[in-house]
Chain A
Amino acid sequence: MFGFHLDYYLCCVIAVSGLLFTATANRNSSAAVMPYYLGIILMLTAAILFFSTDNRIVNDYQGGLDANEQTVLFALSTLTALIIRKLFSAGKKIIRNNSN
């Protein structure tokens, strides 16, 4: 898609966002199953997107990612997913306040 590093980062952001949906649904233990399944679908989408768009079985000196790069990119993607989630919640709150 956009280069190995960016692809990995974007797919991790999608996967972690999905996981956060699932974790919140699990934590609230409410009857709402929608966020739970949405989270699982997002995680699966991220994996399919990553492996279907390019050849990912590459050595780290031939364009793949080494362990350090993977760790840093995964941590960054987790942080990004958390920020997106916060922005999403804030947006929802504003819309709810405006409608009231």
Chain B
Amino acid sequence: MQDFIYTIIDFDQRLFLAINSKVGTSSIIDSSARIIGSDYLVPVFLSLMLIFLWYKENSTLRRLKTRLTVLNSIFTLVVACLIVIMLNQILFRERPFNLIEANLIFYAPTDSSFPSNSVAAVVALTIPVLKTYRKIGCLMLWSSLCLAFCRIYVGIHFPGDVLGGILTALVSFFLSTLLMNLFSKQLYLLLLLVEKWKGLKIVRL
């Protein structure tokens, strides 16, 4: 069993080095990877997509359905963050830039490398949308995967961390959907309240 784990870790490191060794070949690719892999571009883009979905539909019924998807995305994100916090309490993995051969072109994070917190968050926002709205979901998924790849490229995550982040998001989506199904009536009532209450007129288009 231990040999198997070491083989996987070794493969993970070799895959990381194969991707990360391309750093320095083009300054344009390096700067783009730094921007795409940053904490701001993709998360804000995904949040904008959620706001777009929130205001997208005209008919009340379809709007409620879309808004439930947006709420599911937010719940999945919260559950994913909680799982990552719990995992970080029990295991710590060194960042890949501590390897001698690695090239770091990003800031050096100090928390555990596994699972990737940012990948877990962006994939968690994406999965519920992907399930309901294929086109927008695919756009969100591609941007999440770009962020994941860029974070390996710039030297702050192993591919295994990214995979861990995606698995975390999938588990949290499952848990969040269970919770949503349990409280579906209350959530519908809440959304109807948001829809009809005059005090919340400011948040309507």
Which A residues have a C-beta under 8 Å from some C-beta of B? 8, 12, 15-16, 19-20, 22-24, 26-27, 43, 47, 50-51, 56-59, 62, 64-65, 67, 70, 74, 78-79, 82-83, 85-86
Picked from A23, A62, A82, the residue with its CB within 8 Å of the CB of B203 is: A82
Count how many chain B residues have C-beta atoms less than 8 Å from C-beta atoms of the other chain.
26
Q: Which residues of A contact B57 (CB under 8 A)?
A: 27
Count chain A CB atoms within 10 A of each CB in B47, B56, B57, B109 and give the residue with the most: B47
Q: Which residues of B contact A24 (CB under 8 A)?
A: 55, 205
Picked from B35, B38, B40, B205, the residue with its CB within 8 Å of the CB of A23 is: B205
Q: Are B108 and A59 in contact (CB under 8 A)?
A: yes
Which B residues have a C-beta under 8 Å from some C-beta of A? 34-35, 38-41, 43-44, 47-48, 51-52, 55-58, 81, 106-110, 121, 202-203, 205
Picked from A15, A59, A85, the residue with its CB within 8 Å of the CB of B205 is: A85
Distance in angstroms between the alpha carbons of A86 and B38 in the assembled complex:
32
Q: Are A16 and B48 in contact (CB under 8 A)?
A: yes
Q: Which residues of A contact B107 (CB under 8 A)?
A: 57-59, 62, 64
Q: Are B51 and A50 in contact (CB under 8 A)?
A: no
Using known A-B contacts A57-B106, A57-B107, determine if residue A23 contacts B41 with beta carbons closer than 8 Å: no
Distance in angstroms between the alpha carbons of A38 and B172 in the assembled complex:
37
Distance in angstroms between the alpha carbons of A82 and B202 in the assembled complex:
7
Count chain A CB atoms within 10 A of each CB in B56, B81, B109, B205 and give the residue with the most: B205
Picked from A20, A43, A50, A83, the residue with its CB within 8 Å of the CB of B202 is: A83
Residue of A nearest to B37 (CB): A57
Q: Are A86 and B202 in contact (CB under 8 A)?
A: yes
Q: Are A20 and B39 in contact (CB under 8 A)?
A: no
Given contacts A23-B55, A64-B107, 15 further A-B contacts (CB under 8 A): A16-B51, A20-B205, A23-B51, A23-B52, A23-B205, A26-B56, A27-B55, A27-B56, A51-B35, A57-B34, A57-B35, A57-B107, A74-B47, A79-B203, A83-B202
Q: Are A43 and B41 in contact (CB under 8 A)?
A: no
Q: Are B44 and A15 in contact (CB under 8 A)?
A: yes
CB distance from B103 to the nearest CB of A (A): 15
CB distance from A94 to the nearest CB of B (A): 18
Distance in angstroms between the alpha carbons of A17 and B107 in the assembled complex:
31
Distance in angstroms between the alpha carbons of A59 and B109 in the assembled complex:
7
